[in-house]
């Protein structure tokens, strides 16, 4: 985000423009509009935020004020529109770029709002670690009467403080946008946002956001294509192919969200779900172990190595123990009997490649998630298992393995489904919350 | 053996110096047969069946018609008896060659042709075994053996299963053997994990498993920490801080995730903090994190399977568990977390032997081992040893050597007393010395103090045998060593109780061929008491009904004073041979002599007169000076000869003598002779009288029966008396009527 910082520097200082009263109006509409605030408590800071003696400024300012009022009359929040999901490892940010900006509107647009838009949309990388997933952007989206593109951006949670600093340096609070945030970081960094950048977060429950975001993206589709896909012939590596599908009738579904850790939800309707269980063996475990075992530094690196490795050099298979299948219990010889089991022997440890270790780590974590998800599906009597989360990003090894595991161990009873926007649903859900007031009549 | 490339070779030859003399380990090899071997990754378990010849004291009635006054009532002869015993020995794989050599040299029995083998290492040593022992290796399925072994120990060894509680006063909380051991879930954590549902002896199914198991801990742990040995990894883990490596909920949320009820200290992502290149992590921390990760994962899967199959009894085994407190703790924690305390993780004392036991049972099917009841022999078994990574040096040294389990075939099948109100919650023992440190201290001291006397008595009982003194000395050493072990590891044989201390002593005495040190004393006392019998009965008959009832009870209790097991009494008896029944009465079970003849029989007689049928149960084997069934047969005969009431009752089957199945001064009502249980059921018994300190105080004091019961004893121990709020020689007379609600519902 270092670059973001410098970008923000360019836009010059523009004073706060929003009147106290105006802001209140927007707030109250939000509340009246039935928006829920599961996390509560985030409202109390609102008043001190926007003390601005210059209620009536220059004509341009008054004009902007009018537009803002106009925007509010149409039940939509002022730009910029963000949704943020601050996870254990990654921050996911969705940003709506209006494409229908009129010349008049553009003229009136405050400088720092404009610069944010330009900065975000003209770059695909931000600082050393921020990335915009261009291939995921959703174009021609109509939201609250505006048309535009939804952008998907991510950066490591470790860069969160630099991000907040940037917000302070550039006086982000003057834009008076609602900052809707979910994920654990919404709680962890709340006071940092407040004290460092004078920003109040609207904290949202991450599982609510996840489900709402997922259902929304699925409903609008992926630029004319289905958001959802599955693997045909998952048990046959030769003929296993990715196929789009629709989530038309998604309930009930078992939703497996693989981030740093894993949460497993049984979802019965948009607002009726329960967290069945979770496991601490997730994406963070894969990356953490890979870093320790291979000295790699990034998820991409780890996956790259894994794609070249062979886990059977690391894992002990059933046939390594029984010479073949373990027929008494119907176990195939090729099944993994003991993950990292070969590594009990010093000779094998001394000759193993990093790639093999990375692959074994990936396979171990993936199979374990598959196994727990399958048990939950059986216990909850749900046949549709939807896997999401950034662990699955650029990770066909895992998606195919999960598809195979669901199919094979359930004898075809369970189907694994995947979504193109893997890890962004929480952020989309937070973004939806920002717009929620406009949905009401 | 100076072959090249051989640091391994060198260490191998070093291994030949076994630290224990093998003849103390592989016992009774002369008659051994039906060998089975279970070779794991590092330990070998050998099983065989053998017969033990040892002395038993037999009593035989004289022909009474020609009996003069000075002759004893019956004759005591020491005879040789052969009993069956199962031997299980555990040793490190490095000793395997040495052990096989030893067995080969001592194996006399040639009818054995095959050895049953199981375990992952069985194929590796197949040739060696076949070459050394000249036996054909016959492989048996590992899981089948494991389950067979598990069923066997659950059925035959009380206190086999336990719950582990790291921070409790006693780490091991032993479970009562449930009358029905099925169904249960067995989670075997070897290099991988197998989850097996067991529904009956022959019906079981592998319902699931996981590749993340002990091998993952070992393999991944070795990679991460460069530590080779499994034990060392555990040791590292026990010193580490997983929070340095794991990402916790509070690392993400800053605190708890309240709406989901996830506390801040919960692990959100195992190794979540190690995804960085610019930080070093300590071996200890990584090992700890790995241990948590694997234990939690296994616990979670076990819970999911338990829930799916609606099972609440979940046993954990395999080398990952094998007595390691660290892993037992993390698994327990995990199970508790994922089931919200609804399911307890259960562990087994003889977990390491299951495969060997199972393989043995497969090979011994024609002997029908499952038709008998078996009992753990405390003298020949090592008991549970904690292999804690931070264990004291004494234990550490032990764990590297040998471990033994011996089980005796009991002459009869043991079952529950049908009158137990709730067999599944019945606990025989009154005080659990594993939990009660103060009581433990006291009783261990007590038994040690009494040891000299027991040794003396043992020698005296075999004056005709010159080596008796030497054997008695060996007994002393063995029992003292047992007491010392129990001081450090009170959980070695399940819950430590006064009963187990007494039983251990009996087992040790038997071990050194002192089958019945009190036989002569009992004989003398019986003789003396018989002379008084008619006088006592006559004086009782002269009393009014009220007075007589009182006198009968006094008589019962007075007789109970003659207890060689109680130190306070044995001191008096030793010092004052004239100490008599009258004196006992003034001072105020079924000890022999005074107790049975002058206390119990008049009481029985009174019951018979009022029309009550009486079943008189007594020990099957000798224990202290308690009367045995065979002695009681003769005594009854003699009394019947002089008392028409008893005679008629015996004749009309209103007085029945039955063995209890026990050879202990205490009584476990869940392990009684099947015949006794049948008689109790057939006669619709509605009153149970339990007499004596061992049977009514040390055990069964709190036992709830479904009929009326009377528990009576004299407290012949001042410490215990004080504990119960009385004085030495206080009387317990506990009459209980079962609560109606219990009976109805």
The sign of the CA dihedral A385, A386, A389, A391 is positive
Partner residue facing A368 (CB), from B212, B253, B281:
B212
Q: Which of B263, B275, B319 to mutate to test the interface with A (most CBs of A within 10 A)?
A: B275
- Mean model confidence pLDDT for chain B: 85
Give the 3-state secondary structure of residue B93. helix
Q: Does B455 touch chain A (CB under 8 A)?
A: no
Partner residue facing A88 (CB), from B206, B222, B247:
B247
Distance from CA of B347 to the nearest CA of A (A): 22
Half-sphere exposure of B159 (CA within 13 A, CB side): 22
Residue B111 confidence (pLDDT) above 80: no
The reply to whether residue A338 touches residue B192, judged by beta carbons under 8 angstroms, is yes
CA distance A400 to A242: 9
pLDDT at B23: 64
Closest CA to A435 of A138, A100, A83, A76: A76
CB contacts of B275 in chain A (<8 Å) are 89, 284, 287-288, 290-291
Closest CA to B332 of B367, B303, B289, B362: B303
Q: Does B274 touch chain A (CB under 8 A)?
A: yes
Rounded to the nearest 10 degrees, the angle between the axes of helix A2-10 and helix A111-122 is 140
CB contacts of A339 in chain B (<8 Å) are 192, 211-213, 215-216, 219-220
Closest CA to B116 of B48, B191, B209, B192: B48
Q: Is B273 left (phi over 0), alpha (psi -120 to 50) or beta?
A: alpha
CA distance B558 to A286: 75
Q: Which of A290, A338, A347 to mutate to test the interface with B (most CBs of B within 10 A)?
A: A338
Q: A328 and B141 in contact (C-beta within 8 Å)?
A: yes
> Terminal CA-to-CA distance of chain A, rounded, Å?
39
The reply to whether residue A284 touches residue B247, judged by beta carbons under 8 angstroms, is yes
Tokens of B527: 């003789």
The sign of the CA dihedral A197, A201, A205, A210 is negative
Q: What is the pLDDT along chain A (441 residues), one digit of tens a residue?
A: 444 444 333 333 333 333 333 333 333 333 333 333 333 333 333 333 334 444 455 666 666 666 666 665 567 888 899 999 999 999 999 999 999 998 888 888 888 888 889 999 999 999 889 999 999 999 999 998 899 999 999 999 999 999 999 888 888 888 877 799 999 999 999 999 999 999 999 999 999 999 999 999 999 999 999 999 999 999 888 899 999 998 888 999 999 999 999 999 999 999 999 999 999 999 999 999 999 999 999 999 999 999 999 999 999 999 888 778 887 778 888 999 999 999 999 999 999 999 999 999 999 999 999 999 999 999 999 999 999 999 999 999 999 999 999 998 899 999 999 999 999 999 999 999 998 855 444
The residue of chain A with its CA nearest to that of B217 is: A340
Query: Looking up tokens 């654990």, which residue turns up?
Result: A184
Tokens of A201: 């977060």
pLDDT at B64: 52
A253 strand-pairing partners: A267
Query: pTM for this one?
Result: 0.85
Give the 3-state secondary structure of residue A336. strand
Q: What are φ and ψ of residue B614, in 5° steps? A: -125, 130
CB contacts of B227 in chain A (<8 Å) are none
pLDDT at B575: 53
Q: B640 and B600 in contact (C-beta within 8 Å)?
A: no
The reply to whether residue B274 touches residue A314, judged by beta carbons under 8 angstroms, is no
Closest CA to A433 of A39, A15, A23: A39
Of A37-41, B141-145, B321-325, B696-700, give the lowest mean pLDDT range.
Answer: A37-41
Q: Does B207 touch chain A (CB under 8 A)?
A: no
pLDDT at B568: 57
- Greatest mean pLDDT among A107-116, A169-178, B430-439, B593-602: B430-439
Residue B292 confidence (pLDDT) above 90: yes
Query: Looking up tokens 């290099």, which residue turns up?
Result: B191
Predicted confidence band at B22 (pLDDT cuts at 50, 70, 90)?
low
pLDDT at A53: 42
The reply to whether residue A277 touches residue B251, judged by beta carbons under 8 angstroms, is no
Partner residue facing B300 (CB), from A277, A284, A344:
A277
Partner residue facing A343 (CB), from B219, B255, B271:
B219
Tokens of B190: 């070897």
B 232-261 residues with CB below 8 A of A? 245-247, 249, 251-255, 257, 259-260
Strands B247-248 and B204-210: unpaired
DSSP, res B124: T
Residues B467-517 have pLDDT tens digits of 999 999 999 999 999 999 999 889 899 999 999 999 999 999 999 989 888
Q: Does B403 touch chain A (CB under 8 A)?
A: no
CB contacts of B246 in chain A (<8 Å) are 280
CB-neighbour burial class of residue B625 (10 A; exposed 0-12, middle 13-18, buried 19+): buried
B55 strand-pairing partners: B80
Of A420-429, B254-263, B444-453, give the lowest mean pLDDT range.
Answer: B254-263
The residue of chain B with its CA nearest to that of A282 is: B269
Closest CA to A392 of A272, A265, A236, A255: A255
The reply to whether residue B277 touches residue A297, judged by beta carbons under 8 angstroms, is yes
pLDDT at A63: 60
Compute the residue count for chain B: 745
CA distance B405 to B187: 23
Closest CA to A95 of A85, A109, A106, A80: A80
Tokens of A33: 């509009």
pLDDT at B595: 81
Q: B222 and B228 in contact (C-beta within 8 Å)?
A: yes
Residue B636 confidence (pLDDT) above 90: yes
Residues B136-171 have pLDDT tens digits of 999 998 889 999 999 999 999 989 999 998 877 778
The reply to whether residue A280 touches residue B296, judged by beta carbons under 8 angstroms, is yes
The reply to whether residue A292 touches residue B281, judged by beta carbons under 8 angstroms, is yes
The residue of chain B with its CA nearest to that of A330 is: B206
B 172-201 residues with CB below 8 A of A? 190-192, 194
Residue B98 confidence (pLDDT) above 70: yes
pLDDT at B719: 87
pLDDT at B70: 59
The sign of the CA dihedral B597, B603, B609, B615 is negative
Residue B13 confidence (pLDDT) above 50: no
Active site amino acids of A: 206
| Percent of chain B clearing pLDDT 70 (strictly above) | 87
CB-neighbour burial class of residue B393 (10 A; exposed 0-12, middle 13-18, buried 19+): exposed
Partner residue facing A379 (CB), from B251, B275, B308:
B308
Q: Does B140 touch chain A (CB under 8 A)?
A: no
pLDDT at B65: 52
pLDDT at A66: 61
| Percent of chain B clearing pLDDT 90 (strictly above) | 53
Q: Does B126 touch chain A (CB under 8 A)?
A: no
pLDDT at B29: 77
CA distance A353 to A364: 17
pLDDT at B182: 95
Partner residue facing B215 (CB), from A187, A282, A344:
A344
Q: Does B212 touch chain A (CB under 8 A)?
A: yes
Distance from CA of B187 to the nearest CA of A (A): 14
ipTM of the complex: 0.84
Closest CA to A314 of A362, A282, A279, A280: A362
Query: Looking up tokens 């010093």, which residue turns up?
Result: A346
Tokens of A89: 């490892």
Longest dimension (CA), chain A: 85
The reply to whether residue A357 touches residue B223, judged by beta carbons under 8 angstroms, is yes
Cβ–Cβ pairs < 8 A, chains A and B:
200
CA distance A174 to A167: 10
Give the 3-state secondary structure of residue B292. helix
Rounded to the nearest 10 degrees, the angle between the axes of helix B325-338 and helix B230-239 is 60
The reply to whether residue B223 touches residue A349, judged by beta carbons under 8 angstroms, is yes
Tokens of B649: 């009752």
CB contacts of A367 in chain B (<8 Å) are 211
């Amino acid at each position: 985000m270092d670059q973001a910082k410098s970008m923000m520097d360019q836009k010059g200082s523009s004073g706060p423009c929003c009147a106290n009263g105006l802001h209140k109006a927007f707030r109250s509409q939000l509340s009246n509009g039935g928006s829920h605030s599961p996390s509560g408590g985030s409202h109390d800071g609102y008043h001190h935020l926007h003390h601005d003696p210059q209620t009536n400024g220059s004509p341009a300012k008054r004009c902007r004020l009018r537009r803002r009022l106009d925007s509010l009359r149409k039940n939509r929040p002022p730009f910029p529109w963000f949704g943020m999901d601050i996870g254990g490892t990654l921050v996911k940010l969705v940003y709506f770029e209006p494409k229908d900006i009129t010349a008049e509107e553009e003229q009136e647009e405050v400088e720092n709002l404009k610069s944010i838009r330009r900065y975000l949309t003209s770059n695909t990388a931000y600082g050393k670690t921020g990335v915009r997933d261009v291939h995921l952007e959703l174009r021609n989206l109509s939201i609250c009467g505006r048309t535009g593109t939804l952008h998907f951006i991510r950066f490591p949670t470790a860069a969160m403080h630099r991000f907040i600093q940037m917000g302070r340096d550039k006086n982000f609070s003057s834009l008076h946008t609602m900052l809707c945030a979910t994920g654990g970081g919404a709680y962890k960094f709340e006071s940092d946002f407040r004290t460092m950048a004078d920003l109040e977060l609207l904290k949202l429950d991450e599982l609510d956001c996840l489900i709402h975001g997922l259902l929304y993206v699925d409903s609008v589709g992926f630029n004319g294509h289905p958001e959802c896909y599955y693997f045909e012939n998952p048990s046959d590596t030769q003929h296993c192919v990715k196929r789009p599908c629709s989530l038309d009738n998604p309930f009930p579904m078992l939703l497996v969200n693989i981030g740093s850790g894993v949460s497993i939800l049984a979802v019965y309707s948009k607002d009726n779900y329960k967290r069945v269980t979770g496991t601490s063996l997730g994406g963070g475990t894969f990356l953490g172990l890979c870093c320790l075992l291979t000295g790699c530094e990034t998820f991409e690196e780890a996956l790259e190595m894994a794609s070249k490795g062979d886990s059977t050099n690391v894992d002990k298979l059933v046939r390594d123990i029984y010479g073949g299948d373990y027929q008494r219990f119907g176990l195939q010889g090729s099944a993994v009997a003991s993950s990292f089991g070969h590594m009990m022997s010093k000779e094998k440890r001394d000759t193993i490649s990093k790639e093999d270790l990375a692959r074994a780590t990936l396979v171990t974590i993936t199979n374990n998630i598959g196994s727990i998800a399958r048990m939950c599906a059986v216990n909850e009597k749900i046949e549709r298992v939807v896997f999401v989360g950034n662990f699955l990003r650029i990770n066909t090894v895992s998606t195919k393995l999960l598809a195979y595991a669901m199919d094979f161990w359930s004898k075809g009873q369970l189907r694994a489904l995947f979504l193109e926007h893997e890890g962004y649903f929480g952020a989309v859900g937070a973004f939806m919350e920002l717009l929620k007031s406009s949905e009401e009549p | 053996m100076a072959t090249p490339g051989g640091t391994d070779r060198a260490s191998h030859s070093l291994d030949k110096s076994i630290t224990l003399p093998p003849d103390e380990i592989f016992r009774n090899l002369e008659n051994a047969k039906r060998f089975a071997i279970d070779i794991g990754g590092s330990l070998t378990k050998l099983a065989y069946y053998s017969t033990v010849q040892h002395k038993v004291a037999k009593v035989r009635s004289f022909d009474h018609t020609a009996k003069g006054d000075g002759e004893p009532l019956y004759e005591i002869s020491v005879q040789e008896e052969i009993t069956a015993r199962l031997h299980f020995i555990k040793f490190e794989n490095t000793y395997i060659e040495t052990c096989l050599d030893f067995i080969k040299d001592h194996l006399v029995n040639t009818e054995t042709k095959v050895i049953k083998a199981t375990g992952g290492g069985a194929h590796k040593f197949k040739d060696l075994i076949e070459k050394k022992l000249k036996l054909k290796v016959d492989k048996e399925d590992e899981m089948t053996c494991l389950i067979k072994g598990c069923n066997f120990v659950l059925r035959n060894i009380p206190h086999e299963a336990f719950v582990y509680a790291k921070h409790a006063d006693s780490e091991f909380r032993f479970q009562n053997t449930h009358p029905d051991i099925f169904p249960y879930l067995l989670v075997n954590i070897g290099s991988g994990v197998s989850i097996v549902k067991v529904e009956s002896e022959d019906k079981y199914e592998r319902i699931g498993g996981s590749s993340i198991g002990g091998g993952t801990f070992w393999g991944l742990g070795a990679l991460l920490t460069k530590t080779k040995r499994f034990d060392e990894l555990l040791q590292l883990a026990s010193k580490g801080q997983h929070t340095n490596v794991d990402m916790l909920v509070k690392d993400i949320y800053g605190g708890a995730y309240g709406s989901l009820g996830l506390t801040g200290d919960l692990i959100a992502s195992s190794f979540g903090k190690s995804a960085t290149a610019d930080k070093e992590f300590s071996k200890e921390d990584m090992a700890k994190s790995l241990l948590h990760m694997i234990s939690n994962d296994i616990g979670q899967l076990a819970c999911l399977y338990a829930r799916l199959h609606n099972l609440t009894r979940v046993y954990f085994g395999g080398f990952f568990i094998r007595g390691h407190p660290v892993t037992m703790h993390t698994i327990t924690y995990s199970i508790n977390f994922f089931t919200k305390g609804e399911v307890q993780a259960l562990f087994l004392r003889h977990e390491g032997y299951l495969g060997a036991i199972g393989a043995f049972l497969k090979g011994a099917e024609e002997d029908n081992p499952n038709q008998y009841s078996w009992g753990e022999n405390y003298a020949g078994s090592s008991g549970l040893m904690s292999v804690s990574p931070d264990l004291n040096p004494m234990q550490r040294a032990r764990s590297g050597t040998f471990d033994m389990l011996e089980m005796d075939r009991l002459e009869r099948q043991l079952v529950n007393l049908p009158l137990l109100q709730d067999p599944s919650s019945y606990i025989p023992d009154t005080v659990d010395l594993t939990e009660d440190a103060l009581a433990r201290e006291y009783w261990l001291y007590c038994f040690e103090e009494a040891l000299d006397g027991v040794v003396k008595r043992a020698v005296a009982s075999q004056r005709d045998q010159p080596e008796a003194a030497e054997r008695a000395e060996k007994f002393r050493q063995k029992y003292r060593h047992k007491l010392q072990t129990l001081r450090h590891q009170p959980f070695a044989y399940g819950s430590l109780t006064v009963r187990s201390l007494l039983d251990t002593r009996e087992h040790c005495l038997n071990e050194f061929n002192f089958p019945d040190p009190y036989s002569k004393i009992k004989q003398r006392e019986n003789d003396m008491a018989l002379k008084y019998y008619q006088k006592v009965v006559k004086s009782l008959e002269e009393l009014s009904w009220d007075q007589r009832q009182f006198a009968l009870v006094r008589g019962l209790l007075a007789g109970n004073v003659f207890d060689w097991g109680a130190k306070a009494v044995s001191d008096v008896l030793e010092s004052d041979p004239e100490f008599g029944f009258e004196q006992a009465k003034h001072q105020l079970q079924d000890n022999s002599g005074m107790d049975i003849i002058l206390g119990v029989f008049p009481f029985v007689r009174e019951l018979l007169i009022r029309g009550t049928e009486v079943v008189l149960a007594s020990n099957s084997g000798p224990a202290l000076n308690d009367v045995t069934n065979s002695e009681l047969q003769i005594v009854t005969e003699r009394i019947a000869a002089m008392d028409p009431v008893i005679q008629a009752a015996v004749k009309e089957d209103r007085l029945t003598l039955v063995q209890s199945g026990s050879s202990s001064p205490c009584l476990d009502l869940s392990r009684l002779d099947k015949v006794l249980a049948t008689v109790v059921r057939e006669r619709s018994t509605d009153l149970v009288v339990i007499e004596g300190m061992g049977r009514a105080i040390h055990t069964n004091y709190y036992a709830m029966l479904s009929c009326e019961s009377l528990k009576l004893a004299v407290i012949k121990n001042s410490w215990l008396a004080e504990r119960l709020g009385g004085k030495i020689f206080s009387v317990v007379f506990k009459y209980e009527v079962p609560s109606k609600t219990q009976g109805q519902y």
